[in-house]
Structure 1
């Protein structure tokens, strides 16, 4: 599709029409990263099988600098739900924003191994200074000095003063991370892409209504993890993304009263074991729902069949 981004009105008006067509379609659309699982399912039913959500970061602080209006938990949920629904999700990481910090990316590097079963970014790229962008229109917010991108001099044989008025891309001062941390980020993205084809993190509900998780990610020990009743309820509560206060409140509504210490201990276990993603106190579960036909019994326990 040539639209810059999916018109949300199309979810109700266009997608049902496409789903009803007797055509073998493979549609690509750029979408917002905060779409719900139900909305993504309707895209899949309409054969919108390739999506490019505007994720661009997994740091909530950097997303605020971009004025994205979403948190990193929203973006991770998009990656998980897209994978769960069988969508091909294309995205990348942008960096180099005025105001970003080394800790924004050091924190992300510590979390990447927990995400390697999800579709990796195509790369990590420094932002481009483009005409009409907020950073171009208001130099005071980060790029006071700018010149036409150097490659334009090889294309246009005109004075530099005229070139400035012709071009779309500009060179400016380097902002944000650089040096070894920039190299580490790019290498971490390459490691993610290498681990992805041989990594899975799957869950199902057993006969007692408890969550069972099978971990076969490249950077983690292969293990079948059986959660108890309380852990299971917390884990399922995290699928839309939640803070610990929201989890505790929903547990209380369901008749399970837990202390702050108990709730925090469970959430910390999920994060430390790579079963949930956390940023700025918001958590989201990472395991994908296993296809029922892939479940089998091993030593009396249900596990996912071989990939």
Structure 2
């Protein structure tokens, strides 16, 4: 079968036909802004991106092929373009560093103006998954049918093992992820509790960029960016390195980037800089 080229064939055709089908797509988090805009214009307003973590090390262990800053970038673009992402935050991967979850909590506290996860949960072991077939190599032992199967079927363990699709398991190193997930869990709870606020918004007026911060505990409600600060902020709508920004500005950008991060309107993650405010047209009223 010929490889599907969704953004070349299907998405433009959906846009042309204007069918208003209310389609839901599962997507990778590496979408470009134009691809996300194409989905929106084709009538696809709800997606399930494979975000699942704000730690690049954890994402590597999952073989996701994405980074933490790419995940944040996608959530920001979704809010800007009117696409709702339903996604999950997952923990408990064999060999993960517990310290990554303290860093994850800090990332979450910086992006609570974006769409929160549908759920926070420990990684599930399913039949046919890499953790099922390569358990010993990946640091998993004592795989057994989920306890719910005993209540439903009442069969011997060997028969349940052949029947089950979901499994419980232990870690080779004896870890219990719930002992180190506390700060991330609390950060997610804060995120859901504050999902109603107006967020972090930027409005470009040409010579100046107004950044309105309505988040709880914001340093200031309004920050006006001009000149190189405005240029750097707009350029980092997509995540950039400090060298990228300096080349774009034709002057050193390190000090400017550090100030924007200190002002809590930009994030420095994975060695990259990403503006956090969600752009809004100047024609819209900001309250």
TM-score by length of 1: 0.85
* Match for residue 251 of structure 2 among 239, 246, 257: 257
- Give, in angstroms, the shift of residue 200 of structure 1: 1.6
Q: Any conservation in 2 of the 1:98–1:176 contact (CA below 8 Å)?
A: no
- Give, in angstroms, the shift of residue 20 of structure 1: 2.3
What SS class does the counterpart of residue 244 from structure 2 fall into? Answer: helix
Deviates more, 1:269-278 or 1:29-38: 269-278
CA 207–15 in structure 1, closer or farther in 2 if over 3 Å, else same: closer
Q: Any conservation in 2 of the 1:113–1:219 contact (CA below 8 Å)?
A: no
* Match for residue 263 of structure 2 among 250, 255, 273: 273
What SS class does the counterpart of residue 54 from structure 2 fall into? Answer: coil
* Match for residue 164 of structure 2 among 156, 164, 167: 167
- Does 2:259 match 1:283? no
CA RMSD in angstroms comes to 1.8
Q: Any conservation in 1 of the 2:29–2:50 contact (CA below 8 Å)?
A: yes
- Give, in angstroms, the shift of residue 28 of structure 1: 1.0
- Give, in angstroms, the shift of residue 189 of structure 1: 0.9
- 1:178 maps to 178
- Does 2:39 match 1:28? no
Q: Distance in 2 between matches of 1:246 and 1:207?
A: 22
Deviates more, 1:60-69 or 1:224-233: 224-233
Instruction: Within 5 Å, give how 1:185-204 maps onto structure 2.
Output: 185-204=184-203
Unaligned runs of 5+ in 1: 1-6, 296-304
- 1:92 maps to 88
- 1:292 maps to 282
Q: Any conservation in 2 of the 1:101–1:177 contact (CA below 8 Å)?
A: no
CA 12–211 in structure 1, closer or farther in 2 if over 3 Å, else same: same
Q: Distance in 1 between matches of 2:139 and 2:224?
A: 49
- Give, in angstroms, the shift of residue 176 of structure 1: 6.4
The Cα offsets for residues 187-244 of structure 1, whole Å up to 9 and x where unpaired, read as 2112111212113211122242x32211111231442101231222221221221121
TM-score by length of 2: 0.91
Aligned residue pairs total 281
